């Protein structure tokens, strides 16, 4: 594939802009500066750099982020900055989208991608992809609340009971909750329906993919094929 087209597909601007970028000597392929935008480059295992910043070639851009509090999962945020503001411009240009939005005050594992098929798989209620959360509650969690969420609680806008796939107490005011749906404010509303209140909420995992302990709030990381396989796996 021509180098200018590679840069365009990876989010570095229009073909004209990418052509100028290459001709200015700011692009290197496998460590060697290349100033010919029409050079044919193999994309298999390709790593190129722009302004000495390395970029792996990805047909689809799929990343994980440790979402911090006070960020919105929207391209048009209202009250707080968008999580997209934490990403480099090429990823924003590629229009990566959060899969399953986290509330502005919820932290933890967030997946973003421009792969529509993956987005559908992970968002579809039929796939029942498990998401695990740690909820800090206002009051100590008791056995009755656990039983209620496992048996199913009724949310005010849904006549059908909503059940937790798993639910356990991990501290006096700490609850580990697994859900396989993605209803609006679901964890908070389930806990409220059971007679408690969520004070803080943190997502630990999606499918079999667990948030790495060394990924700090606001940081992001590329997902490898093995990570994506874990996303689709059951807990």
Question: Distances from the Cα of 173 to the Cαs of 126, 187, 201, in angstroms?
Answer: 32, 15, 12
Q: Can you give the pLDDT at residue 49?
A: 94
Question: Active-site residues: which are they?
Answer: 103
Q: Can you give the pLDDT at residue 85?
A: 95
In whole angstroms, give the CA distance from residue 3 to residue 227: 28
All residues at 6 or more sequence positions from 201 whose CB lies less than 8 Å from its CB, including other chains: 103, 105, 106, 107, 108, 133, 134, 135, 136, 187, 188
In whole angstroms, give the CA distance from residue 23 to residue 76: 35
Average pLDDT, the chain: 92
**End-to-end alpha carbon distance in the chain:** 39
**Binned average pLDDT, 10 residues per bin, the chain of 235 residues:** 95 94 94 93 93 93 96 85 95 92 92 92 84 96 93 84 92 93 86 94 94 96 92 65
Question: Distances from the Cα of 73 to the Cαs of 77, 162, 176, 182, in angstroms?
Answer: 8, 24, 23, 14
Q: Can you give the pLDDT at residue 76?
A: 82
- Max Cα distance, the chain (Å): 68
- Residue 48's nearest CA partner among 19, 28, 22, 25 is 28
Q: Can you give the pLDDT at residue 233?
A: 66
Which residues are bridge partners to 209 per DSSP? 206
pLDDT, tens digit, 9 for 90 and up, residues 24-82 = 999 999 889 999 999 999 999 999 999 999 999 999 999 999 999 999 988 887 888 99
Q: Say which residue the tokens 């700090």 belong to.
A: 216
- In 3-state terms the chain splits into helix, strand, coil percentages (rounded to 5) of 25, 30, 45
Question: Distances from the Cα of 235 to the Cαs of 124, 147, 166, in angstroms?
Answer: 16, 21, 11
All residues at 6 or more sequence positions from 17 whose CB lies less than 8 Å from its CB, including other chains: none
Sheet holding 27-29, edge to edge: 32-33, 27-29, 47-50, 53-56
Ordered structural domains, the chain, with CATH: 3-56 (3.10.290.10), 62-125+208-232 (3.30.70.580), 130-206 (3.30.70.1560)
Q: Can you give the pLDDT at residue 235?
A: 43
């Amino acid at each position: 594939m021509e180098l200018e087209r590679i840069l365009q597909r990876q989010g570095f601007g229009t073909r004209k802009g990418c052509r100028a970028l290459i001709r200015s000597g700011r692009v290197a392929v496998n460590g060697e500066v290349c100033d010919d935008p029409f050079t044919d480059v193999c994309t298999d295992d390709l790593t190129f750099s722009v302004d000495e910043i390395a970029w792996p070639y990805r047909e689809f851009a799929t990343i994980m982020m440790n979402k911090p509090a006070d960020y919105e999962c929207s391209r048009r945020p209202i009250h707080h900055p968008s999580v997209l503001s934490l990403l480099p411009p090429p990823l924003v240009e590629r229009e990566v989208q959060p899969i399953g939005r986290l509330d502005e005050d919820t932290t933890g594992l967030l997946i973003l991608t421009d792969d529509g098929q993956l987005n559908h798989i992970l968002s579809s209620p039929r796939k029942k992809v498990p998401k695990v959360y740690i909820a800090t509650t206002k009051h100590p969690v008791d056995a009755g609340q656990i039983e209620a969420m496992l048996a199913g609680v009724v949310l005010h806008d849904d006549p059908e009971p909503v059940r937790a796939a798993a639910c356990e107490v991990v501290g006096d005011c700490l609850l580990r909750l697994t859900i396989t749906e993605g209803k609006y404010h679901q964890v908070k509303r389930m806990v409220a329906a059971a007679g408690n209140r969520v004070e803080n909420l943190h997502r630990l995992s999606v499918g079999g993919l667990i948030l790495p302990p060394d990924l700090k709030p606001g940081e992001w990381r590329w997902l490898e094929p093995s990570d994506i396989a874990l996303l689709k796996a059951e807990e």
